[in-house]
Amino acid sequence: MKLPFLKGKRGVPEKIFEAPAIGAKDIIAPSSVALTSDHLKLGERLAKSFFIFSYPRYLSTAWFSPVINLDTPMDIGFHIHPIETSQVLKQLRKKVTEVQAEIIEREENGLIRDPALETAYQDLEALRDRLQTAQERMFKFGLYLTAYGNNPKELEDIEITLRSILESRLIYIKPALYQQREGFNCSAPYGLDQLQVYTSMNTDPLSSIFPFVSFDLSSNEGILYGVNQHNNSLILFDRFSLENANSVVFAKAGSGKSYAVKLEILRSLMSGVDTIAVDPENEYQPLAEAIGGSFFNISLASPNHINPFDLPAPRPDEKAEDVLRSNIINLVGLLRIMLGGLTPEEDAICDRALTETYAARDITPETDPSTWQGKIPLMSDFEQVLEGMEGAESLVRRVRKFSKGTFAQFFNQPTNISMEKPFVVFGIRDMEDELRPIAMFIIMRYIWNKVRSELKKRILVVDEAWWIMKTADGASFLYGMAKRARKYWLGVTTITQDVSDFMKSEYGQPIITNSSLQLLMKQSPATIEVVQKTFNLTEEEKYLLLEAEVGEGIFFAGQKHVAIKVVASYTEDQIITTAPEEVLKIRRARGG
């Protein structure tokens, strides 16, 4: 059967059974919208809008940044309306007259001065002057926030967090009760201010509202560390300008940490800062050779020796007995590592034996320290003293390995190296793994003695610091150096790729705390949680470190931190690169 042709008004066919077209609005819009007194329900999500209604007399720069950096989905609306200057000046003139009249009235009635009135008068007059000379303008400012959550409890927690952040700055916030729809529109990108909760502000405090502030680490002195990835400015910084010059570098293998440190060494040397490096993999040897520094290969077969019993020359402000006592305490710590631990009785025996070993060579608090250097004892002298002591039989057997046995070639020799050159590297790649923590301890004791003897601006680089952190005494010594380095114009740079092992030590966190400079580069997923917790990183910073390219990371200097990209010139790159393909290419070019 043929259906009749249906016509509507004016003969236009009616499309009765045709479904309406789905537009962009239908796709974007939530499935439902429910309006309550204190929140909106958009589909399954809840939204709650707030407004800021009170500000203090002073606003600091970037005070809104903590809110922006919250790990919470949020819409924020700034509404800024300029006010005619002539209109504001009329109002200010009237207000100044009222305040001045009140001050005069109080004086005539013999009342004590009111500091609040006088401050208000001074502020009004200063603002009038700046407005009159066009240095400032006045604005009406409204700030609205809409936070999102999955349930009322989550919204409540967000509100508490916002209040704690803002009220600590004397800034007060309220939810837009019974006006949630208007509040939502205010923070949406409509350009509509339906709440109209305004605060009058002049240009100066209004500029502090701008939330997207990137720290600038450019100074007139210091060296170039890299490029600030926030704003492409140069990170020029002098580590010795901070409360301490210590630095920690955490990164996984191949992320460019040694490259960055070598670049810092090269540029520091050019600015007159001496550098000493403890190098477990002999990575710094080409750099030392290229710039005319000293490289000492420390191993059992090496001709380079360091005597563990070396003493520093006391400085004019130090007592000989303090130097001797400190040295003996450190030596007991070294023996604890060498001998695989000491019982309390053995600890006391070693302490007394060390004192007698020095005394046998006429090194006592009473003798002239200038005569000490020619009388330094050796490990074999210590063994002889132990042999004559009661209860030291086990100690003698264990010490003999270092005085007469396999290890005597390194541990029972007088020191035959010097640190006269501006760049000195101690390489321990060829030292047996079981002796590396001991070798690092001895080397660092030797360096520390030299640093204490002569006051000079220096940097000490301890690469793969987890080696020395494996023992409690080694970690304690490294922490002691980091803590006292500032007094001797020394900056200690601690580098490690094994963050978990480093933080397992009780001295891991204190070493970080005593380091004003910190460089974090690419991290592995296995350790990123530890790094995030240790350095209080945001989620964005966490993912930045997981996805960072070689040479990129986060640079902390005191309270400031920026995203950094380490950059080197062609000449610097040729000197410091350790990439195998680049090294091979350079060798072939030189051979050609």
Strand ranges (E), 84-153: 138-149
Q: What is the pLDDT of residue 422?
A: 92
DSSP string, 279-346: ETT-TTHHHHHHTT-EEEE-STT-S----TT--PPPPTTS-HHHHHHHHHHHHHHHHHHHTT---HHH
Which residue's entry shows tokens 């009222």? Answer: 98
Whether residue 93 is predicted with pLDDT greater than 70 in this model: the reply is: yes
| Mean pLDDT across 451-479 | 85
Residues 6+ apart with CB under 8 A from 402: 338, 379, 408, 411, 412
- For residue 489, is it within any domain? yes
- My answer on whether 235 and 202 are in the same domain is no
Q: What is the pLDDT of residue 584?
A: 61
- My answer on whether 180 and 295 are in the same domain is no
- My answer on whether 294 and 365 are in the same domain is no
Each residue's pLDDT tens digit, 310-320 = 888 777 777 88
Whether residue 269 is predicted with pLDDT greater than 70 in this model: the reply is: yes
Between CA 434 and CA 66 the distance in angstroms is 48
Tally of domains in the chain: 3
- For residue 239, is it within any domain? yes
Predicted confidence band at 581 (pLDDT cuts at 50, 70, 90)?
low
State percent of the chain over pLDDT 90.
Answer: 21
- My answer on whether 123 and 140 are in the same domain is yes
Higher pLDDT among residues 503 and 520, named by residue: 520
| Mean pLDDT across 269-296 | 90
| Mean per-residue pLDDT over the chain, rounded | 85
- For residue 361, is it within any domain? yes
Q: What is the pLDDT of residue 295?
A: 92
| Mean pLDDT across 198-212 | 81
- For residue 79, is it within any domain? yes
Q: What is the pLDDT of residue 10?
A: 55
- My answer on whether 423 and 401 are in the same domain is no
Whether residue 247 is predicted with pLDDT greater than 80 in this model: the reply is: yes
The answer to whether residues 242 and 557 touch, using CB atoms and an 8 Å cutoff, is: yes
Measure the CA angle with vertex 414, ends 410 and 420; round to 5°: 100
**231-256 exposure pattern, b = at least 16 Cβ within 10 A, e = fewer:** eeeebbbbbbebebbbbbbbbbeebb
User: Using the 8-state DSSP alphabet, how is residue 139 labeled?
Assistant: E
Q: What is the pLDDT of residue 5?
A: 47
- For residue 406, is it within any domain? yes
Between CA 11 and CA 94 the distance in angstroms is 71
| Mean pLDDT across 478-497 | 89
- My answer on whether 141 and 261 are in the same domain is no
- My answer on whether 119 and 188 are in the same domain is yes
- For residue 186, is it within any domain? yes
Q: What is the pLDDT of residue 9?
A: 53
Residues 6+ apart with CB under 8 A from 466: 496, 497, 498, 501, 502
Higher pLDDT among residues 17 and 531, named by residue: 531
Residue 367, SS3?
coil
Q: What is the pLDDT of residue 3?
A: 47
Whether residue 2 is predicted with pLDDT greater than 60 in this model: the reply is: no
State percent of the chain over pLDDT 70.
Answer: 93
Domain end (from 380, 414, 448)? 414
Domain end (from 414, 445, 460)? 414
- My answer on whether 320 and 441 are in the same domain is no
- For residue 13, is it within any domain? no
Q: What is the pLDDT of residue 220?
A: 73
- For residue 16, is it within any domain? no
Each residue's pLDDT tens digit, 526-552 = 888 888 888 888 888 888 898 888 889
| Mean pLDDT across 484-493 | 90
| Mean pLDDT across 410-434 | 88
Between CA 531 and CA 528 the distance in angstroms is 5
Q: Sort 377 into a burial class: Cβ within 10 Å, 0-12 / 13-18 / 19+.
A: buried
Higher pLDDT among residues 584 and 365, named by residue: 365
Residue type, 242: L
Indicate the pairing of strand 458-462 with strand 490-496.
parallel
- My answer on whether 365 and 320 are in the same domain is yes
- My answer on whether 503 and 518 are in the same domain is yes
Domain end (from 180, 207, 234)? 207
Whether residue 160 is predicted with pLDDT greater than 80 in this model: the reply is: yes
Q: Sort 433 into a burial class: Cβ within 10 Å, 0-12 / 13-18 / 19+.
A: exposed
Q: What is the pLDDT of residue 519?
A: 92
Two structure tokens written together for 244: 């301490």
Q: What is the pLDDT of residue 472?
A: 82
Q: What is the pLDDT of residue 12?
A: 54
Give the CATH number for residue 555: 3.40.50.300
Q: What is the pLDDT of residue 147?
A: 93
Q: Which domain holds residue 86?
A: 29-207
Whether residue 1 is predicted with pLDDT greater than 60 in this model: the reply is: no
Predicted confidence band at 577 (pLDDT cuts at 50, 70, 90)?
confident
Whether residue 103 is predicted with pLDDT greater than 90 in this model: the reply is: no
Whether residue 592 is predicted with pLDDT greater than 70 in this model: the reply is: no
Whether residue 277 is predicted with pLDDT greater than 90 in this model: the reply is: yes
- My answer on whether 409 and 466 are in the same domain is no
| Mean pLDDT across 290-318 | 86
- My answer on whether 505 and 563 are in the same domain is yes
| Mean pLDDT across 158-168 | 92
Give the CATH number for residue 359: 1.10.8.730
Q: pTM here?
A: 0.64
Predicted confidence band at 296 (pLDDT cuts at 50, 70, 90)?
very high
Q: What is the pLDDT of residue 232?
A: 79
